[in-house]
């Protein structure tokens, strides 16, 4: 039985760890092109990240997901995966996984699979190379395709995460469903979230409710309800024609807070109990102030006791300001 129970009786069994705020892409809905990154002194070392994540595992967390930024651009990141994989070996952890943009998978897919990573999420919003360059600003489409091929060859199960962007990729959704079906990938659509200033183009202009996306898909595809839980917030259907699965993550039109089992740790050691709230706990201070894990454990318990019932996401049509000031790359995808 987990030892981390929030004030609403929800067991916290899922920790997402942002290992870096840096990325080799500059996706238009995630970062501004001219980002200011955190100073190195504020970033937890890989050993400190292992210590905090391992404390959560001891306290009942069963799933760890490494995110960023782009997690695989952090120097020596595989040493952290190797260390955390020990919890898979003991049975203390059910799953170790990551969310990536795919650019580094040609280098790391085989080792990830060897360490016990079974499945990965890859962020991909378009199958058009020119549009991909426009959305990611710095990304190389061919490199991502090579990464997906490497992951597939290594035996990793792949889920494609696609942010629904009005006027950008909304004509491609049928193509994405067909392509994922052919490749054997799951597909999840995600609504734009109001996190961080992103420069030109207000989120109101990007926002596309997934209720509309689903309605459009149903004009071509037969979507069958299934009872699938992967530990995250997506609600899934099966596409009868392809056999593939589609998930919908709808923080704006239908939040998923009632079953929330997760918290997020940033690379600075800040724990966010809710993606859509600013309240946070500092875990870096107890890690750096004591070799004992007791202060860290106490700080974790105190934080979980403040976990809110739900988020306050709203896209403000008057101010066009983000609901939360920090960028998604800081909190972790």
Q: How far apart are CA 275 and CA 286, in angstroms?
A: 22
230 versus 128: the higher-pLDDT residue is: 128
pTM exceeds 0.85 for this model = yes
Q: For the chain, what is the mean pLDDT?
A: 88
* 3-state SS track over the chain: CCCCECCCCCECCEEEEECCCCCCCCCCCCCCCCCCCCCHHHCCCHHHHHHHHHHHHHCCCCEEEEECCCHHHCCCHHHHHHHHCHHHHHCCCCEEEEEECCCCHHHHHHHHHHCCCCEEEEECCCCCHHHHHHHHCCCCHHHHHHHHHHHHHCCCEEEEEEECCCCCCCCCHHHHHHHHHHHCCEEEEECCCCECCCCCCCHHHHCCCHHHHHHHHCCCCCEEECCCCCCCCCEEEEECCCCCEEEEECCCCCCCHHHCCEEEECCCCEEECCCCCCCEEECHHHHHHCCCCHHHHHHHHHHHCCCCCCCCCCCCCCCCCCCECCCHHHHCC
What lies within 8 Å, CB to CB, of 33 at 6+ separation is 26, 137, 199
25 versus 4: the higher-pLDDT residue is: 4
Percentage above 90 pLDDT, the chain: 69
* pLDDT at residue 255 in the model: 56
* pLDDT at residue 232 in the model: 64
Q: How far apart are CA 225 and CA 75, in angstroms?
A: 42
* pLDDT at residue 260 in the model: 85
What lies within 8 Å, CB to CB, of 66 at 6+ separation is 17, 19, 77, 80, 81, 96, 97, 98, 99
Residue 217 φ/ψ, nearest 5 degrees? -60, -35
Cβ–Cβ < 8 Å for 147, 207: no
- The reply to whether CATH 3.10.20.30 applies to domain 14-331 is no
Q: Which residue has the tokens 């995630």?
A: 30
| Chain segment 30-84, per-residue pLDDT in tens | 767 777 778 889 999 999 999 999 999 999 999 999 999 999 999 999 999 999 9
* pLDDT at residue 207 in the model: 84
Q: How far apart are CA 2 and CA 16, in angstroms?
A: 17
Q: Could you give the strand order of the β-sheet that contains 63-67, starting from the edge strand earlier in sequence?
A: 223-225, 235-239, 245-249, 186-190, 157-163, 119-123, 95-100, 63-67, 14-18, 262-265, 270-272, 280-282
Grade residue 309 by pLDDT with cuts at 50, 70 and 90.
confident
203 versus 25: the higher-pLDDT residue is: 25
* pLDDT for 332 beyond 80: no
CA 326 to chain centre: 15
* pLDDT at residue 323 in the model: 44
Q: Which of 124, 138, 144 is nearest to 186 (CA)?
A: 124
Grade residue 318 by pLDDT with cuts at 50, 70 and 90.
very low
| Chain segment 147-185, per-residue pLDDT in tens | 999 999 999 999 999 999 999 999 999 999 999 999 999
């Amino acid at each position: 039985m987990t030892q981390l129970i929030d004030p609403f009786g929800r067991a916290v069994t899922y920790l997402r760890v942002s290992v870096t705020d840096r990325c080799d892409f500059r996706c238009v809905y995630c970062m501004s092109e001219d980002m200011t990154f955190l100073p190195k002194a504020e970033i937890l070392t890989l050993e400190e990240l292992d210590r905090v994540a391992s404390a959560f595992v001891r306290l009942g967390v069963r799933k760890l997901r490494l995110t960023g930024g782009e997690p695989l651009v952090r120097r020596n990141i595989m040493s952290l995966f190797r260390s955390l994989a020990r919890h898979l070996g003991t049975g203390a952890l059910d799953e170790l996984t990551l969310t990536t943009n795919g650019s580094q998978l040609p280098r790391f897919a085989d080792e990830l699979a060897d360490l016990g990573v079974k499945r990965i999420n890859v962020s991909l919003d378009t199958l058009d190379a020119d549009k991909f360059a426009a959305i990611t600003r710095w990304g190389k489409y061919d490199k991502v395709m090579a990464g997906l091929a490497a992951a597939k060859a290594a035996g990793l199960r792949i889920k494609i995460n696609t942010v629904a962007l009005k006027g950008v990729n909304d004509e491609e959704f049928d193509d994405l469903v067909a392509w994922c079906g052919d490749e054997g990938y799951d597909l999840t659509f995600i609504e734009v979230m109001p996190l961080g200033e992103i420069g030109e183009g207000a989120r109101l202009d990007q926002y596309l409710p997934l209720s509309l996306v689903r309605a459009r898909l149903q004009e071509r595809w037969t979507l069958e309800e299934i009872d699938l839980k992967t530990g995250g917030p997506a609600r899934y259907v099966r596409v009868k024609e392809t056999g593939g699965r589609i998930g919908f993550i709808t923080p704006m039109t239908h939040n998923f807070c009632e079953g929330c089992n997760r918290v997020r740790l940033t690379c600075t050691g800040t724990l966010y109990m809710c993606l859509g709230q600013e309240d946070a706990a500092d875990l870096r201070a107890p890690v750096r102030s004591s070799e004992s894990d007791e202060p860290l454990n106490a700080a974790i318990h105190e934080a979980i006791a403040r976990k809110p019932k739900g988020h306050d996401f709203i896209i403000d049509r008057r101010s066009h300001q983000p609901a939360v000031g920090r960028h998604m790359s800081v909190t972790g995808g």
